[in-house]
Amino acid sequence: MKDLDQKRGFTTSLGAITAAAGSAIGLGNIWRFPYTLGQQGGGAFLLVYLLFVFAIGLPIMMSEFVIGRRSQRNTVGAFRTLGPAYRRWSFVGVLGIVAAFLIYSFYSTVAGWTLNYVLLSSNGALSGKTPQEVSQVFSTFTSGTWAPLLCQMVFLVLTAAIITMGVQKGIERYTKILMPVLLALMLLLCLRSLTLKGASAGLSFLFKADFSKLTGGSVLSALGQALFSLSIGMGALITYGSYIRKEDNLFKTGLCVATADTLIALLAGIAIFPAVFAFGLSPASGPSLVYEVLPNVFNSMPMGRLFAVVFFLLLSIAALTSTISLLEIVVLWAVEELHCKRTAATLVVSLLIFGLGSLCTLSFGPLSGFHIAGYGVFDLLDRLTATYMMPIGALCLTLFLGWRYPKAEVREELTNNGKLKAGYFRVFYFSLRYLAPAALVIVLIMGILE
C-alpha cells in the first residue's frame, strides 16, 4: 500500500474538511438548490432534502472516504489495492473517472458564465436595465462564440494552476482560503437580503413547511439534489479520502462536510428568497433565477451593484472549489495509473476537457441546432452524468462496501483500528446496505422513465 507521506496528503483535519467541503459546495448549492426549492414549493421540500442528506447522503459519503483512505489510491487503483478479490470492482472507479471528465466539461461552461457576470456587475453593464434587457444580456452572451469560450478557458486555467501545485500547496492551501471567503461573502449577502422590506415573506417560503405542495416528484427531486450536492458517485470523495490522515475521524469529517454543504445551501436560500419576494419576483423562475432574476433584484436595491459583484464572485469561488476536485479525480488517476507527471497530466486533461467543454458552451450558440438523441451536447452530458452515471456509481459503492467488503474492515477503518467509538455504526451500516441502495434504485428508475 502506497505511503500517505509519499502522496503528500492533507496535513491537517481542517485541510481535509475544507477540501472535501469545497468539492461538495459549488453551483449545486448556490445556483441549483435555490431554483429547485423555488420550483418545488419551499419549506416542505427543504425538510425532505435535509432528511436525505443525513440519512442517505452522509453514509454514502463516508463509504467513499473509507474506500479512499483504506486504499490510499485513486478511484480505479483503490479497488485493486483493497485486495485481489476486488479487482473486478475497478469498473466503478473507471465510471467515476469518465463521469468526472464529462461533468467538468459542461460544469466549466456554467463556471465561465459566473466569471462573465462578475465582470458585467463590476463595470455596471447590468445596472439600470429593464428585466427584458437583463434577460437579453444573458441570452446574447450564452449564444455567442468567443466570449463564453474565453470565460470557460480562464476558469480551466485557474483550476489547472491550483492542481499543478499539488495536494498541500495547491488544493489544501487554496481551499483553506477560498472556503472562509465564500462563507464571509454569503453571510454579507444574507444580512443585506434580510434588511430588505418584505424579506419575511421569503423566509416564510423557505422555512414554513406546506406539505400540500409536496409531491412524489418533489421527494425524488430532493433526493437527487442531495446526491448531486454532496458530489457523490463520481470518485471525488474517494480521491480526497485517499489524502485523509489515518488518525483523523472519518465520521466527524463526513459530518462536518455534510453540515457545511447544507449550511451553504440554506444561506443561499436566505440570501436569495427574501430579496426575490421583497421585489415581487417569482421564486419558481427555474435555472434562470441566478442569471436573469437576481440582477433585477440587485438593480432595485441600494448599493445593488456592489452586492451583485459580491454575489457573482461568491458563485465563482463556489464553482472553483468544485472544479478543483473534478480535475483532481482525473489527474490523480493519470499520475498513479499512467505514471504521468502531475503538471503534464493537468495540462493534457485540461486541454481534452476544453475540447469537449467547448462543444457544451457552443451548444447554446453556433451548435444549438446539433442534437444527439434529442439533446444538445450540454444537456446530453448533464443527463448522462446526473441521471445515470452518478447514481449508478453511488449504487455500486454501496453494494461493494455494504455487501462485498468485510464488515469488520469497514468498522476498523471508521474506528481507526478500534481507537474511536462508533455508536453510529449500526445506523450507518443499515443505511449503506438497505436505505441508500433502495433510494438510488428509485432515482435511477425515475430518471429512466422521465
Domains and CATH numbers, the chain: 13-449 (1.20.1740.10)
- Classify 420 as helix, strand or coil: coil
Cell numbers describing residue 281: 419576483
pLDDT of residue 285: 67
pLDDT at 4: 39
pTM: 0.90
Tell me how far apart the 2 most distant CA atoms of the chain are, in Å.
Answer: 65
How many other C-beta atoms can be found within 10 angstroms of the C-beta atom of residue 154? 15
- What is the rounded distance in angstroms from the CA atom of residue 305 to the CA atom of residue 123? 9
As a residue count, the chain comes to: 450
C-alpha–C-alpha distance, residues 273 and 203, integer Å: 7
CB atoms closer than 10 angstroms to residue 294 = 26
Closest Cα partner for 101 from 330, 396, 324, 318? 330
d(CA 279, CA 238): 44
In DSSP terms, 48 is beta-bridged to none
Beta-bridged to residue 450, according to DSSP, are: none
Place of cell 443499515: 430
Residues 236, 29: Cα–Cα separation, whole Å: 17
Question: Could you give the 3-state DSSP secondary structure of residue 242?
Answer: coil
Rounded to the nearest 5 percent, the helix, strand and coil shares of the chain are 75, 0, 20
pLDDT at 287: 66
**Mean pLDDT by 10-residue block, N- to C-terminus, for the chain (450 residues)?**
51 83 80 82 88 91 93 92 91 94 94 92 85 86 94 95 87 84 85 85 87 80 82 88 90 91 89 82 70 78 82 87 92 93 95 97 93 91 87 93 94 90 89 92 80
Spatial contact of 52 and 223, defined as CB atoms under 8 Å apart: yes
- Residue 77's H or E segment, with its range, is helix 77-82
